[in-house]
Amino acid sequence: MLDTSIDYLKGVGPIKADILKKELSIFTYGQLLSYYPFRYIDRTKFHKISEIQDDSDYVQIRGILRRIESHGEGHKKRLVGTFRDESGVMELVWFKGLNWIQNLPTGAEYIIFGKPTVFNGKANIVHPEIELISSLNTELQAVLEPVYSTTEKLNAKNLKSKDIGKIIKSVLLKIEESKTVIEDNLPKYILDEFKFFSRNETLRFIHFPQNQEQLKAARNRLKFEELFFLQLKMLQLKANRKLAYRGFVFASIGDFFNNFYNNNLKFGLTNAQKRVIKEIRKDLGNGMQMNRLLQGDVGSGKTVVAFMTMLMALDNGYQASLMAPTEILAQQHFKSLQEMGEGLGITMELLTGNVKGAKRKAILKQLEEGIINIVIGTHALIEDSVVFKKLGVTIIDEQHRFGVMQRAKMWRKTDLCPPHILVMTATPIPRTLAMTVYGDLDVSVIDEMPPGRLPIKTFHKYESQRLWTFGRMKEEIAKGHQVYIVYPLIEESESEMMAEIKDLMQGYDIISHEFPKPDFQISVVHGKQKPDDKEYEMQRFIRGETQIMMATTVIEVGVNVPNATIMIIENAERFGLAQLHQLRGRVGRGGGDAYCILMTGFKLSEEGRFRMQTMCETTDGFKISEADLKLRGPGNIDGTQQSGIIGLQIADIIKDTNILQAARQIAQRIIDEDPKLEKEENISLKKYILTLQNKQTFNKIS
């Protein structure tokens, strides 16, 4: 019955069915029942007119409609009803639907519902819901009345919240009358373990609960269901991949790794780095193809871990690659890996779009012949012309900047089996989001900073405190240090970009006046510069020839200038928490004191104040990411739209952490014991997953 088309449902008809399909993607009874209310009106509570305050929320009142009078003419015409209960009198006002309203019988008892206001000491409700008590239908009447999201197009076709509720009621009555039992998609052992309602009861109680207990139990079951099937899908994908793809076995740890560890490693590894290297070592030795996400805060030492992973490949006769999202970051990695590998006898090259002609041909030839051990590059690495003799491991930095198809191209760089994949991100991802978005990957976390790296001191200053900021800049420059000043840039249109560059140039006039030549030198970088000019200015700052770097673009992720000790972020309220934290991580890389100054105007939204306060209170990237998740929701963490991946309708990965963890544990247990869901008790799971896949295919076609 749940697969029956809504075209055949009484009270719908072809016009309403068509708009439900277009606006809400509802085609069947089952999809209609899965359109859950977003809130409920507690119809057990009644207020008195005398209780109404100007800040009152929605109220429900029982009383007598005494009279209805017409006021105004033409488009200003309105109807005003006098409504009374035993405590007082109020007005009901209507600007629309006047013909229907003026035919309401007066002197009768009604229940009204709406958002009240108080004007000249008198309470009123504009366009209240109003129902004659004698006409109320008690059949399937919910004590908690569901409220459904609608659109203008739905409202125009008489598909308001109440209309949708009536249609859903008719489906539930059909199911009840036909004694149809909705097959459960969860096995009995899960229902028993968590004391869940049956699916029949759950769908009834989510729409028309009789009390808060029923509603809570129904919501918990549906939240678990969503999160459980998401986790099951992720873990099954992970298990199937491990079964389908073998990985190169790196059996030995040899001279490359040992010589680096004993001779070239300048600082001792943190316990977190050691733990992660052990996790990677286990992956590379067990014959399975590694797919691991390495996350760690800015400056936590991910690059060292990545390099040691590459050395494991080299020790076993394989090549390694590192792919970065930008040319400047690729160059930065190339320089730092060259320093780490000095004296180890490693052949290392940089391959980007700017490497052309004879140089490019030589690199491609040496890669194919296996002469080059490690190649660092940009998207250039995924081009068909780039062929490896024996690629064993590939590192992808700032993985959210690459699409799935780009990563997949690196998989196909070997004939025997895919290379081991290690993807890295400097944007700390809350555990709940990592489980949801990256649930098919193994996750390693570097949650410890190297010794000697001091927390960056962060200050929030208003424009009126600009002289204080100049003073801090001069103090640091006098010590031989350098300063970043970053302006926000919205590159949505040419005019907006030019406006931001204008802001930068106005800022430059102020800074160059306060920090005049020849005592001070300033680099300026913005989005309209030619790449060569931008690179020239960046390099001047990196070499220490300029003391101040002013930029409209976000300073590239990974640009490493250890001598820079102050980051000033102009209009800081226009950046998200993740961006602010990334920018702050550009300073303090030399081991000494470092500062981040957030400059804003006085007019700040509540959210803006929260962001500034969070940045000043903590430098812990994971705490910041949790705060960012609460502010922005899971749809747009680290600047990439992920809501399509998550696709949750009723569960909330921020509020429902406990349910998510329970769902993950059960899903993991099932996959460990029955990866193909072939046991009799798991047949319902397999059937439901196939049903979901078929519906997704159908919806794409539709």
Residue 645 — very low, low, confident or very high, per pLDDT cuts 50/70/90? very low
Task: Note whether 101 and 160 are same-domain residues.
Answer: no
**How many whole angstroms separate alpha carbon 350 and alpha carbon 428?**
28
Q: In this predicted model, what pLDDT tens digit does every residue of 181-192 receive, in sequence order?
A: 888 999 999 999
Query: Does some domain include residue 435?
Result: yes
Burial code (b: 16+ CB inside 10 Å, e: under 16) for 515-552 equals: beeeebebbbbbeebeeeebbebbeebbeeebbbbbbb
DSSP 621-642: HHHHHHHHHHHH-GGGGGGS--
Higher pLDDT, 638 or 593: 593
Mean pLDDT of the chain: 86
**How many whole angstroms separate alpha carbon 343 and alpha carbon 260?**
9
Task: Note whether 273 and 214 are same-domain residues.
Answer: no
**How many whole angstroms separate alpha carbon 507 and alpha carbon 505?**
5
* Peptide linkage before 518 cis (omega within 30 of 0): yes
- Domain limits at 154? 6-41+150-180
Residue 640 — very low, low, confident or very high, per pLDDT cuts 50/70/90? very low
Query: Does some domain include residue 651?
Result: no
Q: Which pLDDT score, from 0 to 100, does residue 327 have?
A: 84
Burial code (b: 16+ CB inside 10 Å, e: under 16) for 271-303 equals: ebbebbbebbbebbbeebbbbbbbbbbbbbbbb
Task: Note whether 543 and 669 are same-domain residues.
Answer: no
Query: Does some domain include residue 384?
Result: yes
Q: In this predicted model, what pLDDT tens digit does every residue of 207-265 receive, in sequence order?
A: 999 888 999 999 999 999 999 998 998 888 888 877 778 889 999 999 999 999 999 99
Question: Is the pLDDT score of 369 beyond 70?
Answer: yes
Query: Does some domain include residue 636?
Result: no
**How many whole angstroms separate alpha carbon 460 and alpha carbon 609?**
10
Residue 64 identity:
I
Q: Which pLDDT score, from 0 to 100, does residue 499 have?
A: 60
Higher pLDDT, 238 or 387: 387
Question: Is the pLDDT score of 123 beyond 50?
Answer: yes
Q: In this predicted model, what pLDDT tens digit does every residue of 293-302 receive, in sequence order?
A: 898 887 788 9
Question: Is the pLDDT score of 290 beyond 60?
Answer: yes
Query: Does some domain include residue 639?
Result: no
Residue 265 identity:
L
Higher pLDDT, 433 or 700: 433
Q: Which pLDDT score, from 0 to 100, does residue 317 have?
A: 95
Residue 35 — very low, low, confident or very high, per pLDDT cuts 50/70/90? very high
Q: What is the mean pLDDT of residues 131-156?
A: 75
What's the total number of domains in the chain? 5
Q: Which pLDDT score, from 0 to 100, does residue 264 have?
A: 92
Higher pLDDT, 305 or 499: 305
Q: Which pLDDT score, from 0 to 100, does residue 284 have?
A: 94
Question: Is the pLDDT score of 358 beyond 50?
Answer: yes
Task: Note whether 378 and 515 are same-domain residues.
Answer: no
Q: Which pLDDT score, from 0 to 100, does residue 496 have?
A: 61
Highest mean pLDDT among 54-63, 222-231, 411-420, 574-583: 222-231
Q: Which pLDDT score, from 0 to 100, does residue 55 have?
A: 79
Task: Note whether 263 and 240 are same-domain residues.
Answer: no
**How many whole angstroms separate alpha carbon 203 and alpha carbon 197?**
9
Task: Note whether 127 and 98 are same-domain residues.
Answer: yes
Q: Which pLDDT score, from 0 to 100, does residue 699 have?
A: 46
Task: Note whether 261 and 395 are same-domain residues.
Answer: yes
Q: For the ranges 171-180, 246-255, 471-480, 499-508, which has the lowest average pLDDT?
A: 499-508
Q: What is the mean pLDDT of residues 493-504?
A: 63
Reading the block at residue 454, the tokens are 């001091």
**How many whole angstroms separate alpha carbon 439 and alpha carbon 442?**
8
Task: Note whether 507 and 606 are same-domain residues.
Answer: yes
Final residue belonging to a domain, choices 414, 446, 478 = 446
Task: Note whether 600 and 529 are same-domain residues.
Answer: yes
Reading the block at residue 196, the tokens are 């869940």
Query: Does some domain include residue 635?
Result: no
Whichever domain contains 442, its CATH number is: 3.40.50.300
Q: Note the Cα 543 to chain centre separation in Å.
A: 37
**How many whole angstroms separate alpha carbon 689 and alpha carbon 453?**
48
Question: Is the pLDDT score of 96 beyond 90?
Answer: no
Q: Are 483 and 568 in contact (CB under 8 A)?
A: yes
Whichever domain contains 76, its CATH number is: 2.40.50.140
Helix (H) or strand (E) holding 330: helix 327-340
**How many whole angstroms separate alpha carbon 420 and alpha carbon 680?**
35
Q: Which pLDDT score, from 0 to 100, does residue 694 have?
A: 66
Q: Which pLDDT score, from 0 to 100, does residue 637 have?
A: 43
Q: Which pLDDT score, from 0 to 100, does residue 495 have?
A: 61
Final residue belonging to a domain, choices 589, 618, 647 = 618
pTM of the model: 0.69
Question: 164: closest CA among 109, 202, 194, 208?
Answer: 208
Q: In this predicted model, what pLDDT tens digit does every residue of 613-625 receive, in sequence order?
A: 999 999 888 888 8
Q: Which pLDDT score, from 0 to 100, does residue 533 have?
A: 87
Sequence-separated (6 or more) residues with CB below 8 Å from residue 581: 298, 615, 621, 624
Final residue belonging to a domain, choices 446, 472, 500 = 446
The DSSP call for residue 260 is: I
Task: Note whether 349 and 488 are same-domain residues.
Answer: no
Query: Does some domain include residue 175?
Result: yes
Task: Note whether 383 and 396 are same-domain residues.
Answer: yes
Side-chain half-sphere exposure of 566, counting CA atoms within 13 A:
26
Task: Note whether 506 and 489 are same-domain residues.
Answer: yes
Q: What is the percent of the chain where pLDDT is above 90?
A: 47
Residue 501 — very low, low, confident or very high, per pLDDT cuts 50/70/90? low
Q: For the ranges 29-38, 127-136, 373-382, 510-519, which has the lowest average pLDDT?
A: 127-136
Question: 163: closest CA among 5, 59, 35?
Answer: 35
Q: What is the percent of the chain where pLDDT is above 70?
A: 90
Query: Does some domain include residue 110?
Result: yes
Cβ neighbours of 4 (radius 10 Å): 15
Question: Is the pLDDT score of 432 beyond 50?
Answer: yes
